Amino acid sequence: MGRYVLRRLLQLIPVFLGTTFLIYWLVWSLPGDPFAGKCGERPCPDAYISLMREKFHLDEPVIVQYLRYLGNLFQGDFGETFRGSSVGDLIAIAYPNTIRLALVALVIEAIIGLAAGIMTGLRGRGFLDNVVLISTLFLISLPVFVTGFVLQIVLGFELGWIKTTVSKSPAPWDELIAPGFVLGSLSMAYVARLTRTSIAENKRADFVRTAVAKGQPQSRVVGVHLLRNSAIPVLTFLGTDLGALMGGAIVTEGIFDIKGIGNLVYDGIIGKDGLVVTGVVTLLVVVYLMSNLLVDLLYAVLDPRIRYD
């Protein structure tokens, strides 16, 4: 087990180097001059451009720039944006918001999705099953921005139940419920369907029949034998989804004005601010790798047949 974890952690190093360089190089090779639009409708003075290029070492070859960046990164310095704010500060402000939003979304999708999936999976065909199938189909077919604007308009403007935008940073938990629902709605539908299928399939599995034949009580059959084994595909999905929720919240963050990293990356790409993009994406990569590792380790807990060594 320990060796396995160590091996997985060591694998992180080349993945980390590869992704950061790729991102750095991609942003660097975006067309357009980062300073061309910085002075309003007038061209920037030559002296300003020269000074900025020198300050950010933009005249050097991309590999030298990247190595310099990496060197600073290992000293905990994420660099500075073209606007003059520290990227580390920006991430420190934005990251808690995104984590909160992703957690709220994850909790909502896990609770509602799992509950709906378990109930329909156990009961089989019937009225409830149809309700869940149709409502999940509805959620899957709606783009996130539609869900977002509809909830904002109906709950925020019409009924006044929620605040239309998140009022401060770090975002208060209660104001994140609606945005979290919007962000998690699509995955919630998938979780419900995945759980339902998985349970329906395992209900007829040999080990469940054996457990029932042994005369075990219904609660133990379902709670230990059925659910634990059905949870594996769902858990895989939730684990990878956490990464996706963190990086893919641009639309939700935009609608509800949450100061998260989704928009930080978006603004960074638009402004050709390579350090912001690389810094945030690096963090996302680490989170993604770690959550995957965690999911893999959880497999062993859920299914005794799986052993790492």
Partner 1 sequence: MRKPRWIAASSMSLALALTIAGCGGGSSDDSGAAANADGALSIFGTEPENPLIPGTTTEAGGSKVIKAMWTGLTSYDPVTSESKNAMAESIDTDDSKVYKIKIKQGWKFHDGTEVKAKNYVDAWNFTAYSPNGQQAASFFEQVEGYQDVNTADPDGPDGPQQAPEPAAKTMSGLKVIDDYNFEVTLAEPFSVFQEKFGYNPFFPLPDSFFTDQAAFEKNPIGNGPFKFVSRQPNTNIVLVRNDDYTGPDKPKFKDLTIRMFEGAEAGYAAVNSNELDFLDTVPPSSLAGAAYQSDFPDRNGSTPYMGNQTLAFPLYQPQYQNVDLRKAISLAINRQEISEKIFEGTRLPADGWVNPAVPGYVKGQCGDLCEYNPERAKEFLAKSGFTGAITLSTNADGGHKEWMTAVCNSVKNALGIECTYEPIPTFGETRQKISNQQMNAISRAGWIADYPSIENFLNPLYRSNASSNDSTYSNPAFDALLARADAAPSVDEADKLYQEAERMLAVDMPVIPLWNQTAQYVWSERLGNVRMGSDRELDLSTVTVNG
Stretch of 86-94, 190-198, 206-214, 295-303 lying at the interface with partner 1 (CB under 8 A): 86-94
The amino acid at 174: D
**Closer CB to partner 1, 257 or 296, in the complex:** 257
**Closer CB to partner 1, 98 or 229, in the complex:** 98
Stretch of 133-141, 197-205, 263-271, 296-304 lying at the interface with partner 1 (CB under 8 A): 263-271
Least separation in angstroms between CB 153 and partner 1? 5
What residues does 86 pair with on adjacent strands? 80
Exposure pattern of 120-147 as b/e (b: 16+ CB <10 Å)? bbeeeeeeebeebbeebeebeebebeeb
Of 37, 96, 233, 248, the one binding partner 1 (CB under 8 A) is 37
Q: How far apart are CA 246 and CA 231, in angstroms?
A: 22
Of 72, 135, 164, 216, the one binding partner 1 (CB under 8 A) is 164
Stretch of 115-123, 224-232, 241-249, 255-263 lying at the interface with partner 1 (CB under 8 A): 255-263
Runs of H (alpha helix) within the chain: 2-28, 46-55, 62-74, 87-123, 127-141, 144-151, 177-203, 206-213, 218-220, 227-247, 250-256, 261-270, 274-302
Kindly state whether residue 167 participates in binding partner 1, applying the rule CB under 8 A. yes
Q: How far apart are CA 57 and CA 77, in angstroms?
A: 16
The amino acid at 266: Y
Stretch of 4-12, 70-78, 82-90, 240-248 lying at the interface with partner 1 (CB under 8 A): 82-90
Least separation in angstroms between CB 255 and partner 1? 7
Interface mask toward partner 1 for 115-154; x: CB under 8 A: -----------------------------------x-xxx
What residues does 80 pair with on adjacent strands? 86
